[in-house]
Structure 1
Amino acid sequence: MGSGWRPSSGTCEVGESISDIVLLTHLGSWADRSPLHDAAFQGCLLSLKTLIAQGFNVNIVTIDRVSALHEACLGGHVACAKVLLENGAQVNAVTIDGITPLFNACCSGSAACVNMLLEFGGTPQLENHLASPIHEAVKRGHRECMEILVANDVDIDQEDSQHGTPLYVACMYQRTDCVKKLLELGASVDLGKRLDTPLHAAVRKSSAEAVNLLTDYGASLTRRNAEFKCALDLAAPNSKVEQALLLREGPASLAQLCRLCIRKCLGRSSLYVVHKLNLPEPLEKFLLYR
């Protein structure tokens, strides 16, 4: 999903030469790209301030409705993003592809930009027709951005029609750190993409580590997808994934059943206060998988 033409030059001039204009004309839909867009994407703070002082509209957009704020966030330039926001840039501006500045900040992995946008009223929980920031953060393995969004009440189990839940995306893109953190934060272990579970995805990607994490958190080995296949049906013969699944067949231990039951009774929001229950340290660590 495009958010603007990427200038090949590393310069930060405020003005444009005749050759620059000719080049932009040949780029078709990017011919309406402004110097403000270029300065924001390249992180040229002084040029950006100068352009704004000269009267450039901070909310000027390209034909695809890409704003300078989109570009600053895609480049991870928090100082530029702050200047634009302080001068009235629309924090929830949407491109024709349904992309917001917050999505671009998650794409670049800039936790600073994510925090800045949220401070200025950025909407973390988006409607289905818009590109989801948390799914993008997970897809690219930007765990800190993901955690910030969850802390700001983004639905950790939000199922995107194209990508499934964040946990499913983490398994599909083999982002094991994100898989672990999502599970720690209370993501529903069996919610994936329609009938396909995160465990199905982890098996397809031959990720034994993700399989072990998911089964530790109570993933069902018997759930069947739209093809009526369980996770073991998808495992390559004699693979580490198959071995991991076979080891988990049969009833879980009493300790594991108790842990899952207690966590379910506490609920996702209560997991944050387990440390306040004055439990023995080994029991606390057991409940929190630490």
Structure 2
Amino acid sequence: MELTSARSTYYGDIGHWADRTPVHEAASLGRALQLQQLIAAGASVNIVSVDNFTPLHDACIQAHPNCVKILLEAGAQVDVRTIHGSTPLCHACAAGSIESVKLLVDHGASVNPSLTALTASPLHEACIRGNPDCVKLMIAKGALLEAFDIYFGTPLHAACAKAHFDCALLLLNAGAKVNATKFHETALHHAARAEREDLVELLVEFGGDVNISDNLDHIPRDYTKPDSPTNLCLLQYGSNPLSLQQLCRIIIRTMVGTRAMELIPKLDISQRIIDYLMFKSLISSE
């Protein structure tokens, strides 16, 4: 179906603004029966407002998967963008509606839409709002872990900036680069600024560099409050070398991936090293 524009009305100094159509309203309010009746009567499911919002965008923003399903089955364009470049999948991930996300993906929605100066990827949106189920599904569907948003940086940056531990853990376990930079700023800088000691410990466990400087020549600890738990945690990591166990875990994750960590049992460090060397030998022989 082609996109059609809603009727525009002039409001003086405000200028032109498209009327909210009954289809937009029904989708936004989750009125599935009314939506079905409007579609049966010939209403367009791809009608757009002046900001290029379709009823599908509205249904996703308000997390109404029943309306999302109706619209998609009626021919709604799955990857249509607003004037800011956001797709319905971006909105569904932001809303945390895993049902809507699954419906969109099943109907061919792109998990890696091209990014603009004003948009973030669906994975970014899930990380910003702290929706781990959506993060997990986006990763499983091939979302780019290093997709770059002009404001946050990578999805890991976004998860740490918003202090969403579960999202950060999912990204790291999937192989996100812990020391990726945005203007030389890493996820650790964000975790420090958020005063999240647990995130700092997680990032260091995955190889985060506590002494890396951003474009202002500030290390993560410079963004914490003096003598706060996060400040003291970073001071300790910066003053003491990592233990042999921590170093081995980082090496394993870097060289053979997180799957190796699942295969290596939680034994004493000497046994873990032996297991790692045996595992590496098996990989090399294949």
TM-score when scaled to structure 2? Answer: 0.84
Aligned to 1:230: 219
Cα deviations by residue, 1:83-112 (Å, 9 ceiling, x for unpaired): 111111000011111111001101211011
What CA distance in whole angstroms lies between the structure 2 residues aligned with 1:81 and 1:198? 34
* Residue identity in the other structure for 1:93: V
* Residue identity in the other structure for 1:89: A
Contact conserved, 1:159 with 1:192, CA < 8 A, in 2? no
What CA distance in whole angstroms lies between the structure 2 residues aligned with 1:139 and 1:104? 12
Aligned to 1:221: 210
Measure how far apart 1:28 and its partner are. 6.2
What CA distance in whole angstroms lies between the structure 2 residues aligned with 1:226 and 1:131? 23
Pair 1:100-2:87 in alignment: yes
Q: Secondary structure at the match of 1:99?
A: coil
TM-score when scaled to structure 1? Answer: 0.83
- Structural RMSD (CA): 2.2
Aligned to 1:47: 34
Pair 1:64-2:54 in alignment: no
Pair 1:189-2:185 in alignment: no
Contact conserved, 2:253 with 2:260, CA < 8 A, in 1? no
Q: Secondary structure at the match of 1:248?
A: helix
Equivalent residue runs for 1:1-290 within 5 Å: 29-129=16-116, 130-249=119-238, 250-267=240-257, 271-272=258-259, 275=262, 277=263, 279-280=264-265, 282=267
What CA distance in whole angstroms lies between the structure 2 residues aligned with 1:198 and 1:36? 42
Change in CA separation of 1:72 and 1:28 when aligned onto 2, cut-off 3 Å: farther
What CA distance in whole angstroms lies between the structure 2 residues aligned with 1:254 and 1:158? 32
Q: Secondary structure at the match of 2:208?
A: coil
Measure how far apart 1:246 and its partner are. 2.0
Aligned residues: percent identity? Answer: 38
What CA distance in whole angstroms lies between the structure 2 residues aligned with 1:188 and 1:112? 29
Measure how far apart 1:282 and its partner are. 4.5
Measure how far apart 1:209 and its partner are. 1.5
Cα deviations by residue, 1:217-240 (Å, 9 ceiling, x for unpaired): 111012110011212233322111
Measure how far apart 1:253 and its partner are. 1.1
Contact conserved, 1:170 with 1:179, CA < 8 A, in 2? yes
What CA distance in whole angstroms lies between the structure 2 residues aligned with 1:210 and 1:192? 17
Measure how far apart 1:32 and its partner are. 2.5
Q: Secondary structure at the match of 1:264?
A: helix
What CA distance in whole angstroms lies between the structure 1 residues aligned with 2:90 and 2:135? 11
What CA distance in whole angstroms lies between the structure 1 residues aligned with 2:60 and 2:221? 42
